[in-house]
Structure 1
Amino acid sequence: MIQPFAFPTTVGFVDDNANFLANLSLQLDARLAFRFFNSAEHALDAVNNAAAFAPTTERFLARYHDRAEQSDDQEVIAMRIDAIRRQVNNARRFECTSVLVVDYDMPDMNGLELCRRIKHPALKKIVLTGKADEHLAVKGFNEGIIDRFIRKQDPGAFEALNQAIDEMKDAYLRHTQSTVVDALALSEYRFLSDPAFATKAREIFKQFDIVEHYVSVRPTGLLMLDGAATPFLFVVYAEDALRAAREIAIERDAPSEFFVELDERRSVPYFWESDGIFPIERESWRRYMHPSFVVQGQEMYSCALIERPQGLDLGTIFPYDDYLDQLDRGAQLAWGS
C-alpha cells in the first residue's frame, strides 16, 4: 500500500571508532540523511530530543463535535486529514530519527544499554558490532530493544546494513501511522490500499523523484514533493467522488461541455477557489480542469497529476535537498563534548 504520509528521516550512527565512521560514510546511499556520533551519551540526548519532531497518531485525532449525542461515554474521535498534510510545513520534520545504528562495544555505554534508554518506541535499532557473540543478539531481541544485528566482519556487511536501514525506515513509518491507515481504510482514501493504485503511485514517485508525500483533502489525493520541494498534486477521484462532483455541478447548472469532459474521462476538476466544488461562476470551469488518466484497480480511479498546483500555501516549505546540504556543512558528525 501507499502510506498516508512519508518523508525522509534521519539515521543515526553511534561508534567510538572515528576511522570506521569515516569509511562507513563512503558506503552509504548519497541521498541518505545521517548523523554520526562518537559518544553514546551525546547520541542518546540528540535522539531523545529529536523524538519531539516525530509524527504521532495523537496529532491527527480530534474530538468530533458535530453530533447529536453529547454524552462523554459516546465520545467520537475524528481523523484530521488537514493535520497530516500540514506536516509539510514543519521545517524540522527531516530531523526525526527513524533508525539508530549502534556499535556494541563502546567505553561510556554499550550498545544494548543505549537502546534500552531510547524513549521513542517507534525508533528502530540496529546493533552493528565487531563481536561475534550470538548471545548479544539473542539478549537484545528477547528484550525487544533491537530490530537487527549485523557483524562488521561479515562478508557483505555494508550491503546488509544499507538494506536493513531501508527496511527499518519503512517499518518506522508503518509503526507511526498504523492507526491512521486503519481509520482511512473505509473512507475516500481507501485507494491507498489498492495494489493497482500503489503501483501507479510508485511509478510517479520514481518518474518525478518524489521524496515525500501526504494525503490531501479538497481534492482527495496526494500532495507530493521532490527534493527541491517542487510540489505535485496527484488528484484521485473514485467513482462515488466523481458522482458527487457531477451532482453538485448539475445543481449549479454546469454547461454540457463540463459533463462531456467528466463522463468521457478526458479531464477532472481541481476547484481550488471554490472549496472543492463546482464554482458559482459557471463559465469559468475550464480553468479548473486537468487532463486525466484512469487507474483500474479494485475500483476505477480518475486521476490527474498537477505540477505546482494553485491554491495551496506551500511557499515556505523547507526542501530535503537543503537539509542534506545542511548536514554536509556540519560534516554530519556530532562529536561528544
Structure 2
Amino acid sequence: MPLPIYHHPSLTVLIDDSDSFLRSVSFQLDPSLASKCFHDTRAALEWLCRNSGPALRPEPALSASFDAYPRSLPQCGVAFDLEQIHRISFRPGRFMTPSVLVVDYSMPQMNGVQLCEALAHLPCKKILFTGAADEKVAVDAFNRGLIDRYIKKSDDDALERLEAEIVALQRQYFTEQSDTLRDLLALHDYNFVSDPAVAALAAQLGERFGIVEHYLYPNPGGLLMYDAEGRARLLVLETEEGMHSHLEMARDNDAPPSLLAALEERCILPWFREGDGMYSNDFGGAWHKFCEPAQLCQGRQTYYWAVFELAPGDLPERAVGFAQFLREHQAETV
C-alpha cells in the first residue's frame, strides 16, 4: 500500500441501538483503537456530519491555491504550503477524526444501509454488522459502494475480524486522503512518497520505534514521526543530488576537511538546524553534532537516510501524544 503523506490514530464510531452490545464491543476492542458510541442513529448522523469531511475535520483541510492564466488552453498553477501537513500534529483534536464507522443493520430509526447511504458523501470507511438473514442486503450495499466491509455478528471470529478490518480501513482512509497530493509531490522533490521501498522503510522504523503517527516534512525532506508518548523523530531522506548539494555548500563555506571527507564518502547525513539546513561557517568544527550515520534505501533511486531525535526546541510547537489523548478519552467515556 502507498505511503500516506500523513497518518495518525483516529476514531472508530460504533452505531447500534443496543447499549449493552456497544459497551461489549468497545470494551473488547484493542484499547489503542479509540471509539465513540451512538445508540441513536439521528444523533450519530448529526455528529458525523459536523465532524467529518474535508472541510470540517478537527484539523483544517489541506488546501491548495490555484492561479489561472489566460492562455489558449486552460492551464493553472498549483501552490501548496507543505508546512500545513506536519502542523496537523500540533492539533490535539486530530485523534477525534472519524475514519471508520461500524454500523448495525437492524435499527429502529433507520437501518444500517440507510444510514450509510445518508453518509455516503463522507470520506470515512464503513463496516456493516449484520445478522445471518441480512447477508444479501449487505452484499448489495457493498456492490453499490455504500459500505467497505460487512461482518456477520454470529461468526465466531467476528470481533477479531472487526478489529483487523478497522486497522486496515483506517490506513486505507489516510492513503486515499493522500492520493491527489501524493501524485503532485511525486513530480517534484518529494518523489519518495510514491516509492514502495520508502514505504517499507517507514514501516520498519515504525516497528522499531513504536511510531503511531507520521507526517511529510518539507525541509529537510522526510517524515516527522511520533511515538505514542509524543516523542518526535525525523526521518531525513536525501538523493544523490541532495548529498552532492551538501558537499558543494560545505566546500563553498570552507568546511573542515573531516566533514568534506565524510560527505564525499556518503557516510554521514547532515541536518544543520539553523538556516536552510546546509553547512555554514557558524558551525565550524562542531559539525558532527548535526550529523547521523547515513544508511541506504534502494528504491526507484538511491536514498540516503538517517533518523534524528528531536529535542523540544526543534519544533515550533509541542504535539500532544496519543497516549495522553487515550487516557483523557477513556476517562470521559467511563
TM-score scaled by structure 2?
Answer: 0.90
TM-score scaled by structure 1?
Answer: 0.89
1:61 corresponds, among 53, 60, 64, to: 64
Question: Hey, what's the Cα distance between the residues in 2 that align with 1:309 and 1:219?
Answer: 16
Check the 8 A contact 1:238/1:301 in 2, yes or no.
yes
Question: Hey, what's the Cα distance between the residues in 2 that align with 1:243 and 1:174?
Answer: 32
Check the 8 A contact 1:55/1:176 in 2, yes or no.
no
Q: Which amino acid aligns with 1:245?
A: H
Hey, what does 1:326 align to over in structure 2?
328
1:6 and 2:7 aligned: yes
Question: Hey, what's the Cα distance between the residues in 2 that align with 1:111 and 1:54?
Answer: 25
Following TM superposition, by how much is the alpha carbon of 1:55 offset from its aligned partner in structure 2, in angstroms? 6.7
Hey, what does 2:240 align to over in structure 1?
239
Question: Hey, what's the Cα distance between the residues in 2 that align with 1:196 and 1:327?
Answer: 36
1:304 and 2:306 aligned: yes
Hey, what does 1:91 align to over in structure 2?
92
Check the 8 A contact 1:9/1:33 in 2, yes or no.
yes
Question: Hey, what's the Cα distance between the residues in 1 that align with 2:117 and 2:197?
Answer: 41
Q: Which amino acid aligns with 2:318?
A: T
1:276-287 pair list within 5 angstroms: 276-281=277-282, 283=284, 284-287=286-289
1:79 and 2:67 aligned: no
Hey, what does 1:130 align to over in structure 2?
131
Check the 8 A contact 2:243/2:266 in 1, yes or no.
no
Hey, what does 2:168 align to over in structure 1?
167
Q: Deviations over 1:209-267 (max 9, x none)?
A: 10000111211111000111100011111111111222222222323221211122332
- Please give the secondary structure, in 2, of the residue aligned with 1:2: coil
Check the 8 A contact 2:247/2:264 in 1, yes or no.
no
Check the 8 A contact 2:312/2:318 in 1, yes or no.
no
Gaps of 5+ in 1: 333-337
- Please give the secondary structure, in 2, of the residue aligned with 1:214: strand
Check the 8 A contact 2:125/2:169 in 1, yes or no.
yes
Q: Deviations over 1:279-323 (max 9, x none)?
A: 242514333222322223332222111112476335431211122
Closer, same or farther in 2 for the Cα pair 1:71/1:89, shift >3 Å? farther
Deviates more, 1:17-26 or 1:97-106: 17-26
Hey, what does 2:119 align to over in structure 1?
118
The sequence identity of aligned pairs, in percent, is 33
Closer, same or farther in 2 for the Cα pair 1:205/1:99, shift >3 Å? same
Question: Hey, what's the Cα distance between the residues in 2 that align with 1:300 and 1:189?
Answer: 13
Hey, what does 1:199 align to over in structure 2?
200
Question: Hey, what's the Cα distance between the residues in 2 that align with 1:195 and 1:139?
Answer: 34
Question: Hey, what's the Cα distance between the residues in 2 that align with 1:186 and 1:70?
Answer: 21
Q: Deviations over 1:24-83 (max 9, x none)?
A: 123312211111111111111221221122678x6242346xxxx954854200232211
Closer, same or farther in 2 for the Cα pair 1:62/1:276, shift >3 Å? farther
Higher RCO (C-alpha 8 Å, min separation 6): 1
Deviates more, 1:83-92 or 1:246-255: 246-255
Task: Give aligned pairs, total.
Answer: 327
Following TM superposition, by how much is the alpha carbon of 1:182 offset from its aligned partner in structure 2, in angstroms? 0.6
Check the 8 A contact 2:59/2:93 in 1, yes or no.
no
